[in-house]
Amino acid sequence: MRLTTLNTGKPDGQLAVVSDDGARLLTSPDWPTLQGALEDWSRAETQLSALQARLCAGEGEALAPDQLLAPLPRAWQWLDGSAFRSHGELMERLFGTEPKPPERPLMYQGMSHAFIGPHADVVLPREEDGIDFEGEFGVITDFVPMGVSADEAMKHIRLVIQINDWSLRNLAGAEMKTGFGWVQAKPACSVAPFAVTPDTLGETWRDGRVHLPLVVDWNGKRFGAPSGSLMGFGFHELIAHAAATRDLCAGTIIGSGTISNPDYRDVGSTCIAERRAIEMLDEGAVRTGYVAFGDTVRMEALLPDGGLLFGAIDQRVVASARI
């Protein structure tokens, strides 16, 4: 099942179930928002699946891509991991930071009051901040009790999503050095239009990981397509880490961190910082600049048969008019 949220002018939009080809949708007056559905998931899933069956039978109204918001346009909690070890190692070399212990997941709490829709402009104040994209997969949970085990946590993964975690690299180092994590360096993330139930991924959902490449294009040119399979921790382990001392509310989003593979010279990267680190290692100097205003970034993961999965994030970065 594939869920999306339509722009109705309300902050949480209108939940809709989408046909397998992404062309049609159906809504239910009983489930106006995805947040509401996640708070009562077993009932919601049954009723939304019935809409899914009607879509399979050919019902539904036409879906217009420009009416789509992020599946959760805002969330009560967004916790982003950094679970790809090859990314971490490259970042440590680029920024000269200390190696992180591999036995514990890395995770920070990020801004969750606004997620940017897949085709909306990304409004940022300054190019000089070092604008970068970060391609990630993520999951959305229902309510998770404090102290959950990783095994139990797997059952709380209700939806899988695809994220662009925008980062301002020239602000990140100073914030990281404080130990307090990022505020200024991590503005709102973008999210692909469709949140999918794990069964939609078929065999490509295993061990709490998405075993598919995320294809990233920057200004229409292929930038990388590493696989989500090589997470050092699965999403179920990230959830257990997050829930060690707190309940997680329904609608908590957990991110994988920047997708990265050790054969980065072949598969490319999902963020510019990583490419810059590779250039530094290989050529002794950085060649690639960060994102300029007007640039476009596209990210999409497809099923092995080329079938639609999360849909594409495809958008432009623009200057804030105010600053």
Interaction between residue 221 and its own copies (CB under 8 A): no
Q: Of these, 7, 77, 170, 296, which contacts its own copies (CB under 8 A)?
A: 77
Q: Of these, 15, 37, 83, 107, which contacts its own copies (CB under 8 A)?
A: 107
Reduced to 3 states (helix: H, G, I; strand: E, B; else coil), residue 150 is helix
Interaction between residue 252 and its own copies (CB under 8 A): yes
Q: Which is nearer to its own copies, 62 or 244 (CB)?
A: 244
Residues 246, 250, 255, 256, Cα dihedral to 10°: 80
Interaction between residue 79 and its own copies (CB under 8 A): yes
Site map 296..315 versus its own copies, x via CB under 8 A: --------------------
Interaction between residue 170 and its own copies (CB under 8 A): no
For residue 52, CA distances in Å to 25, 39, 74, 84 come to 9, 20, 24, 34
Q: Following DSSP, what letter does each residue of 51-78 receive, concatenated?
A: HHHHHHTT--EEP-GGGB--SSSS-SEE
Q: Of these, 178, 203, 220, 284, which contacts its own copies (CB under 8 A)?
A: 178
Instruction: Extract the tokens encoding 274.
Output: 């990583």
Site map 31..60 versus its own copies, x via CB under 8 A: ------------------------------
Q: Which is nearer to its own copies, 182 or 194 (CB)?
A: 182
Nearest CA-CA partner of 250 in 8, 45, 4, 9: 45
Interaction between residue 68 and its own copies (CB under 8 A): no
Where does this chain touch its own copies (CB under 8 A) — which range of 2-10, 44-52, 237-245, 290-298? 237-245
Count how many Cα atoms sit within 13 Å of the Cα of residue 9 in the half-sphere of its side chain. 0
Q: Which neighbouring-strand residues pair with 197?
A: none
How would you classify the pairing of strands 24-26 and 209-210?
unpaired
How would you classify the pairing of strands 77-81 and 61-62?
unpaired
Size of the site for its own copies (CB under 8 A): 52
Q: Least distance from C-beta 113 to its own copies, angstroms?
A: 4
**Of all helices (H) and strands (E), which one includes residue 42?**
helix 41-56
Instruction: Note the residue count of the chain.
Output: 323
Q: Least distance from C-beta 21 to its own copies, angstroms?
A: 35
Where does this chain touch its own copies (CB under 8 A) — which range of 54-62, 166-174, 266-274, 299-307? 166-174
Angle at 117 between CA 115 and CA 118, to 5 degrees: 130
Interaction between residue 149 and its own copies (CB under 8 A): no
Is there a contact between 268 and 277 (Cβ–Cβ < 8 Å)? no
Which positions lie near its own copies, rule CB under 8 A? 74, 76-77, 79, 82, 97-98, 100-101, 104, 106-114, 123-125, 129, 145-147, 168, 171, 174, 176-185, 187-188, 241-242, 244-247, 249, 252, 320, 322-323
